[in-house]
Amino acid sequence: MTSLESGGGALPGEELAELAESDSERLMRLLEDGAPLFDYPGPVLLLDRDKKVVGANPGAMSLVHGIMSGTALSLTALVSATLSSGGRPQNMKILDEEAGRTTDITALPVDGGKHVLLFGRDISLDQNLRNALVESRQRYKDLVEISSDFAWETDASGKFVFVSTAGALGYEPDELVGHVADDFVEKLDGITIVTPFNAREPSTGIEFRFRRADGTVAELEASAAPLSSEDGEWLGARGVCRDVTEARRRDAALAKARNRERLMAYIVRTIRDELDPKAMLASAARAIARSLASDGCVICRRDARGKLAVAAELGTPPAVFLANVLASDAEGQAPTTVDDPDGTHVLSFPTDYHQAANGAVILWRDASGGAWNEDDADLMKEVSNQIGIAIEQVASHENLELLSTTDPLTKLLNRRTFQERLDGKLSKKGAGGALVYVDLDNFKLVNDNLGHKMGDKVLLDVAAMLHGCAGKDDMPARLGGDEFVVWFDTADRDKARAKAEHLLEAAGSLAQYAVDETRKVGMSIGIACIAPGGNASSENAENLIARADEAMYEIKHGGKNAYTFAPDPEVSGAGNDDD
């Protein structure tokens, strides 16, 4: 049994006041079975000055046991206080923890102070309701504080009249109370800002910008409800605000990351899906330009000299900027943002593979597209990494293609590739040209007497001569050993003759490799022509090579170091024209 509080208190009622004037015998009769106090729902006890129980009703049995056992110390103390109070009633609340009951005890002296009457009233319900109310208020306060950064209330003039005790956004409560709430709202020119501080109807999820005490701006999310008088007059609003600045920042960062991933996936997929490696960089340029909203894109590759050369181009780039890039070394490239005098915004990023520079990506857009920002640069950094890999893939493919299509020593086309490409040319209607077949004279003597290294040097000199007389659309090739061919695209007999004479003149330098004066290194040349617009499709590469080969052998057996034309296939028995 626990004491809750004690002190002076009012009498339980008029009947109790009358009892105070009664003697102990009358009180005893009132506590007998069937008497008014016997059936009273609360405890009633009569004690003498020695704290002995003189009488009690059934409702006081637990208190009687406590007094008799000496455990109800607070109750006996209440009796002592009453006897020494000079006739003033005393009051105490006791808690029966086992029963979960709270009893309000009033003690008053009777019989001129010879006895003390204890009159109890069960206030458990009242106490529980009061405790529940206190708990409910605390729960509401805790929930408000947990779910929001601060709670507030405004009056009809829009001024803060209440701000939660913790303050808000660096302000103490008294720094906000009395000030117009909307004065702290960050406004944009020409844009109407909806704030919760003048809410005329319940609203949630209102987002606005609020100036912090340190001058920075916070993104707030608010819920508000209007305040009204009994007659419906609007008195202000109250609500809660939550600082969502970091949440919005994270959302924005996540959105940017997802967008970057989406664009990167699109670019990578475009590159991956391109089967032709030569077209890979062109496809990449289109995908990059589209992804970064640019007017065009140039992808450059590092060449053998360490300089940059255009590998793929979409649109017309700023000429001066591109010229500067192409004039510089690949190793010297760095991320660059330039605003051209004409208003064009240029963004350039180097590419690399295994930390070795191998190219650059250049984007541009006009003034209406806006300047490049940090997000663009971040995306370009990732893009450049992928393009560096793509450039290396293209280079690897080209190297494999070179190995499979060219002669390892001279780097001229090999026989198989030459025939395939020549067949492709001959299949076109109206195609024409001249095939010049070159066989070296006395070349075996060089290998036998001077060694294969010297022989390789001869072959390389001849390859250089063939390259020197071949144009952009012409095809020089090494068929094997010391046999070479050149296809001169669209060449007629006169041009073929001029080419043959040029080769024979250049071959004069091969005399330096002669074993003796009588057996100099030279060229025997056979020429097979197809007139432009003629029936090229009737002859394939193999037949054309065979005709030129036969003409070459005529020279080989007739004195060497000269040229002759093979007869046209349509003119049987036509004579050679080797003048």
Contact 271, 283 (CB under 8 A): yes
pLDDT on residue 573: 43
pLDDT on residue 223: 92
Tokens of 85: 């109070």
pLDDT on residue 193: 81
Residue type present at position 320: V
With cut-offs at 50, 70 and 90, classify the pLDDT of residue 190.
low
Contact 196, 148 (CB under 8 A): no
Tokens of 282: 């062109």
CA dihedral (396, 397, 400, 405) positive or negative: negative
pTM over 0.85: no
3-state secondary structure 75-117: HHHHHHHHHCCCCCCEEEEEEECCCCEEEEEEEEEEHHHCEEE
Tokens of 533: 């617009």
Contact 374, 386 (CB under 8 A): no
Contact 37, 57 (CB under 8 A): yes
Q: What is the mean pLDDT of residues 131-155?
A: 69
Q: What is the pLDDT of residues 394-446, one digit of tens each?
A: 888 888 888 899 999 999 999 999 999 999 988 887 778 999 999 999 999 99
Tokens of 281: 């960089």
Tokens of 266: 């699109």
- Of 88, 9, 75, 80, whose CA–CA distance to 43 is shortest? 75
Q: Are strands 217-228 and 234-243 parallel, antiparallel or unpaired?
A: antiparallel
Q: What is the mean pLDDT of residues 1-17?
A: 46
With cut-offs at 50, 70 and 90, classify the pLDDT of residue 572.
very low
Query: What string of DSSP letters covers 190-207?
Result: T-PPP-GGG-SS-EEEEE
Domains and CATH numbers, the chain: 2-123 (3.30.450.20), 148-243 (3.30.450.20), 254-400 (3.30.450.40), 415-565 (3.30.70.270)
How many Å apart are CA 391 and CA 398, to the nearest integer?
10
> Residue 146 pLDDT > 70, yes or no?
no
Residue 547, burial from CB neighbour count under 10 angstroms (0-12, 13-18, 19+) = buried
Half-sphere exposure of 182 (CA within 13 A, CB side): 14
Higher per-residue confidence, 440 vs 139: 440
pLDDT on residue 220: 94
Q: What is the dihedral of CA 404, 410, 415, 419, to 10 degrees?
A: 90
Rg of the chain on CA atoms, in Å: 54
Contact 238, 225 (CB under 8 A): yes
> Residue 341 pLDDT > 90, yes or no?
no
Containing 320, the helix (H) or strand (E) segment is helix 319-327
Contact 298, 314 (CB under 8 A): yes
With cut-offs at 50, 70 and 90, classify the pLDDT of residue 87.
confident
- Of 496, 557, 558, whose CA–CA distance to 530 is shortest? 496
352: Cβ contacts below 8 Å, ≥ 6 apart: 358, 384, 388
pLDDT on residue 579: 45
How many Å apart are CA 387 and CA 363, to the nearest integer?
13
pLDDT on residue 541: 92
Q: What is the DSSP letter of 567?
A: P
SS3 571: coil
pLDDT on residue 10: 41
Of 54-68, 147-161, 224-238, the range with the highest mean pLDDT is 224-238
> Residue 6 pLDDT > 70, yes or no?
no
pLDDT, averaged across the chain: 86
Containing 122, the helix (H) or strand (E) segment is strand 115-122
pLDDT on residue 208: 92
How many Å apart are CA 22 and CA 403, to the nearest integer?
130
Identify the weakest region by mean pLDDT among 122-131, 133-142, 485-494: 133-142
Containing 238, the helix (H) or strand (E) segment is strand 234-243
Identify the weakest region by mean pLDDT among 88-102, 267-281, 371-385, 396-410: 88-102
Q: Are strands 522-530 and 563-565 parallel, antiparallel or unpaired?
A: parallel
Q: Are strands 336-339 and 345-353 parallel, antiparallel or unpaired?
A: antiparallel
SS3 content of the chain, % helix, strand, coil (to 5): 40, 30, 30
Burial string for 345-383 (b: 16+ CB within 10 Å, else e) reads bbbbbbbbbeeebbbbbbbbbeeeeeebeeebeebbebb
The pLDDT > 90 percentage for the chain reads: 45
Higher per-residue confidence, 531 vs 434: 434
257: Cβ contacts below 8 Å, ≥ 6 apart: none
> Residue 237 pLDDT > 50, yes or no?
yes
> Residue 464 pLDDT > 70, yes or no?
yes
How many Å apart are CA 193 and CA 172, to the nearest integer?
25
Q: Which long-range contacts (CB under 8 A, 24 or more apart) does 167-174 make?
A: 168/241, 169/210, 169/212, 169/213, 169/218, 169/243, 170/212, 170/213, 170/214, 171/212, 171/213
pLDDT on residue 297: 94
How many Å apart are CA 225 and CA 199, to the nearest integer?
6
How many Å apart are CA 513 and CA 473, to the nearest integer?
31
Contact 407, 416 (CB under 8 A): no
Contact 345, 274 (CB under 8 A): no
pLDDT on residue 160: 95
pLDDT on residue 2: 47
124: Cβ contacts below 8 Å, ≥ 6 apart: 100, 101, 102, 103
**CA–centroid distance for 578 within its chain:** 73
Q: What is the pLDDT of residues 105-130, one digit of tens each?
A: 999 888 888 888 888 888 877 767 77
Angle 541-557/415-426 helices, nearest 10 degrees?
Answer: 120
Q: What is the mean pLDDT of residues 263-274?
A: 86
